[in-house]
Structure 1
Amino acid sequence: MIQTIRESLWNQFGGSIDMLTNAISAYPENLWNEQKKFFYISYHVSVFLDYYLTIPAGPLSSPLSFTLSEVIPVEGIDDIVPDNIYSQAEILAYLQASRKKCHDLIFNMTETDFTQLWVEVESNKIMPVFELFLYNMRHVQHHAAQLNMILKKDTGNAPDWVRAAG
């Protein structure tokens, strides 16, 4: 049973990451620096995908650096402000690393690992690790949908639905 759970979770979570990757890949490079909302969403979801794959919970960090801000920037999301406008290639490479991290975590988890609590002290988020995977997947899918909506508006086209991880 646990193997079926791992495979099903990966198929759907990996599919969500693939949809996010497809959306970011499809955005025209000439708009990347002009229409910064797309970049900010891409950056935000990449950082938090990685963060919610940190088990047990650790400090918020990223190989693509940011500054924590008390004031939410007009174009930013939450309280993380990227230190640079990172390229599509940098965001996509970060997503690929997080995709592998996600895959490896899911397939190396034991039933006990899935039931341990993930505790984020700063925000008082507490949930079983299995629920954290679902929470993270929903977060990825939410932002993939936003990016696809922006793509449709800016280019008239958006990538197709991904049924399962490729």
Structure 2
Amino acid sequence: MTIINNEMLWRQFGAAIDMLDDAIKDCPKELWETQLWDDQPDQWVAKGFSKFWYLCYHTLFWLDLYLTGAEEGFSPPAPFDLVEMEPNETLPRTYSREELLGYVVTCRQNCQAVISAMSQEQANRLCQFSWGEVPFAELQLYNLRHVMEHGAQLRMFLGQQANKSATWVSEVR
């Protein structure tokens, strides 16, 4: 029995991507390199992970990677760096708003294509990561939650620091 079809999943996934896109567009220049929270002594990611621009990149990077279903063989498009794969990494150079907005477009197109074409067989394909093994369809729900989590953090930060409220996106634009 199918509970959610591909179109439903895309409409909600696309809405989450649209809200991330809005956050990137709404960030004032003076907050672009501001950290949303302090680094932790035991964090597994690079120092400065919570800088606004990097949290946007982190979200897009993993969105793109999870759409492939595997870390092996994944490489983000130029000019972006492969990140968060090794201990003691440092942040890449600061990516511009325009670069990240371009990556949003790429990820949105990839996401729509992957979700629209997902067959039952592909949905059930097991995907292995260091944190566990999940069917591809469940990985996409995880992926959606990840985009929504960081999009919400970014929006809350913009509300607190720049008095910029979010516009709710009920389904993909």
- The structure with the largest helix share of the pair is 1
Could you tell me which residue of structure 2 aligns to residue 70 of structure 1? 87
| Percent of aligned positions that are identical | 36
In 2, the alpha carbon distance for the partners of 1:60 and 1:112 equals 22
Instruction: Give the counterpart of 2:116 among 96, 107, 116.
Output: 107
In 1, the alpha carbon distance for the partners of 2:131 and 2:166 equals 36
Q: Normalising by structure 2, report the TM-score.
A: 0.81
In 1, the alpha carbon distance for the partners of 2:158 and 2:165 equals 6
Aligned residues: 155
User: 1:154 offset after TM fit, Å?
Assistant: 1.6
1:92-126, Cα deviation, whole Å (9 max, x unpaired): 11111011101001111111111111122xx1521
Equivalence map 1:9-24=2 (5 Å):
9-24=9-24
User: Does the 8 A contact of 1:26 with 1:158 survive in 2?
Assistant: no
Q: Which moves more between the two structures, 148-157 or 60-69? A: 60-69
Q: Structure 2: where are the runs of 5+ without partners?
A: 36-50
The aligned amino acid for 2:64 is D
Equivalence map 1:6-155=2 (5 Å):
6-33=6-33, 35-36=34-35, 37-63=51-77, 64-66=80-82, 68-71=85-88, 81-120=90-129, 123-155=130-162
Q: Normalising by structure 1, report the TM-score.
A: 0.84
Q: RMSD over aligned Cα, in angstroms? A: 2.1
| Secondary structure at 1:127 match in 2 | strand
